[in-house]
Amino acid sequence: MIYLSNFHSCETSVVINNRLILKKKSLGQNFLIDDNIARKIVRIADINQGDIVWEIGPGSGVLTKFLIEKCRKLYAFEIDNEWFGYLQSLFEQTNLTLINADILQVDFAKYFDGKKVKIVANLPYQITSPLLFKILDNRDLFSSITLMIQDEVADRICAPSGNKEYGKLSIKLQLYYTIKKKFSVPPHVFRPQPKVRSAVVQLFPKQDVPEILNHKQLWDLIDEVFNHRRKMLRVSLKLFLAKNEYEQLLDTSAMDFTRRPEALSIQEFVELSNTIETIKKGA
């Protein structure tokens, strides 16, 4: 494997599988080159011959070649035209369907045939949060999600309440998924090498999601209080509720509103949202 500098632009190029490929900075590309890491990811994802798998950003096909061997059908979403063409030539007449598209713009339902899907991907760092939110919006389609992402983002989505990393993404994902950080990945297994470590995480849908009276209400509440995360709840909730609703909440709830949002458990956020929804419906 050779890494070359392109002195004529702010972009770089890499030689992968004897092909000189321009790394497009706008796409945040860091290509996995270590087959052992790829095999480990596929093994952890527990792919079997009956599975339908989606891979996002296959790039040079390091993960792809192992996924194809394991699953019944693989859909691979690649936004880069050059890599898309390369993958077409590399994996002819296989169980792979290549889609040349931006995954953030894809209608997930178009590639869903009724059987739940496993996602396995080495994600470009910059699409991690928007993709996770899109997966949340389509959570009924997936049986498991195995992702390689930036290490600090992995810590954030796994963070418990009371942790400084605990926030909007932690709560919204942990409400619906059991999340495990499986292992960290050093920069040297990528070309070009990123400046930070990566990590592989797995998300499995929870079977015991608490009753939520209004999902939008809960989402808006989480967003609002974490937009003012250094303030006590009694202060940030004033901006979220009408005056009479706020006063009724203080009168009827046993919650300690002098706490800050990172101190609340996920269950407490659900209960607070349900109380507010009840107050609003009764107003």
- Going from N- to C-terminal start, the domains of the chain cover 2-205, 215-282
- The C-alpha atoms of residue 199 and residue 182 are separated, in whole angstroms, by 7
Phi/psi of residue 103, nearest 5 degrees: -60, -30
Q: Give the model confidence (pLDDT) of 107-144 as tens digits.
A: 999 999 899 999 999 998 899 999 999 999 999 999 99
CA 203, 154, 101, 42 torsion: positive or negative? Answer: negative
Through-space distance between the first and last CA atoms of the chain, rounded to whole angstroms: 66
- Give yes or no on whether 2-205 and 215-282 have one common fold: no
Judge whether 126 and 149 are in contact, CB under 8 Å.
no
Q: Give the model confidence (pLDDT) of 201-256 as tens digits.
A: 999 999 999 999 999 999 999 999 999 999 999 999 998 899 999 999 999 899 99
Q: Give the model confidence (pLDDT) of 82-110 as tens digits.
A: 899 999 999 987 899 999 999 999 999 99
Q: Give the model confidence (pLDDT) of 18-47 as tens digits.
A: 554 555 544 456 889 999 999 999 999 999
Q: Which of 79, 115, 80, 111 is nearest to 96 (CA)?
A: 111
pLDDT of residue 147: 98
| Superfamily in which the 2-205 domain is placed by CATH | Vaccinia Virus protein VP39 (3.40.50.150)
Helices (H), 7-63: 35-45
Q: pTM to 2 decimals?
A: 0.88
pLDDT tier at 192, thresholds 50, 70, 90:
confident
- What CATH fold (topology level) applies to the domain 215-282? Helicase, Ruva Protein; domain 3 (1.10.8)
Strand segments, DSSP code E, in 165-279 are 177-185, 190-191, 198-205
Q: How does 184-193 read in b/e, with b if 16+ C-beta sit within 10 Å?
A: ebeeebbbbe
Whether residue 6 is predicted with pLDDT greater than 90 in this model: the reply is no
